[in-house]
A = this chain, B = another copy of it.
Amino acid sequence: MSNKSAPTPAYQRIKDSILANIHSGIWTAGTAIPTEMALTETFGVSRMTVNRALKELTDEQILERRQGSGTFVAQNKFNQTFITVHNVRQDIEQIGKHYHANCIFAKQIAYDKLPDLAKSLFLHSQILYEVHIVHYGDGEPLQVERRIVDIGLVPDFSRQNFNLINTSDFLIKKVPLVHGKYKIIAANCPDDIAQLLGVGKDTPVLLLRRHTYSSGLVVTLVEMWQAGDSFMFEGVL
């Protein structure tokens, strides 16, 4: 009765079979697919194995399950697309360019000198540190990072050399399991950023702004500016 554990696992064969039925149009969005018991008999496997296949397809938003009712082909897919935002360094190296960084500003700052946006986020913090870092690909400036960190929560931060250490890499080691929110905005490039990026003033740029929490407190607020045509977010559905 034991399974010979063929090259392709049973749950994968079941997934492939279901995907083939959807792909070929036999099962369209909203269609009820066979029950777990039915698939158990069709494929000659235990219910747990069928369950795993269906659960994974549900996690991938391809199926939708309703307890007491059945399993259905999901409606979405087009409507929910994921974009992956990587580390700057990874992004730059992935397009085959040599990466380096230059930290041009690193100072402790007073709470009342913060921009309004930052004030609303760092309500309970007194000790804040700001860094400005330019990220280069093959010697060309591709991204400007402006970051504010609550060094009450990450005391070592101000003692790092950010020409060598990536701020994100450092923070994730010190403050694991963070949670954040971000926005991508198209903006005209302010003067100072334009100079650093080597583009004309009022060139359109992508601004990614993110603040990151740990245990309910904002650890860091970061703005990443990049010239619109030299860099972009990219992803696969």
Q: Which residues of B contact A73 (CB under 8 A)?
A: 176
* CA distance in complex: A84, B81 (Å): 5
Q: Which residues of B contact A62 (CB under 8 A)?
A: 177
For window 74-99 of A, CB contacts with B under 8 Å fall at 75-87, 90
Question: For the complex, is A37 an interface residue (Cβ under 8 Å from B)?
Answer: no
In the complex formed, the residue of B with least CB distance to A220 is B78
Question: For the complex, is A188 an interface residue (Cβ under 8 Å from B)?
Answer: yes
Residue in B87, B172, B227, B229 whose beta carbon sits within 8 Å of that of A29 in the complex: B172
Protomer copies:
2
Chain A contact residue count (CB 8 A cutoff): 58
Q: Which residues of B contact A29 (CB under 8 A)?
A: 172-173, 176
Question: For the complex, is A180 an interface residue (Cβ under 8 Å from B)?
Answer: yes
A186 with B172, Cβ < 8 A, contacts A79-B87, A85-B81, A87-B79 known: no
A residues sitting closer than 8 Å to B (CB atoms) are 19, 22-23, 25, 28-29, 48, 59, 62, 73, 75-87, 90, 168-169, 171-173, 176-188, 202, 204-206, 210, 212, 215, 227-229, 232-237
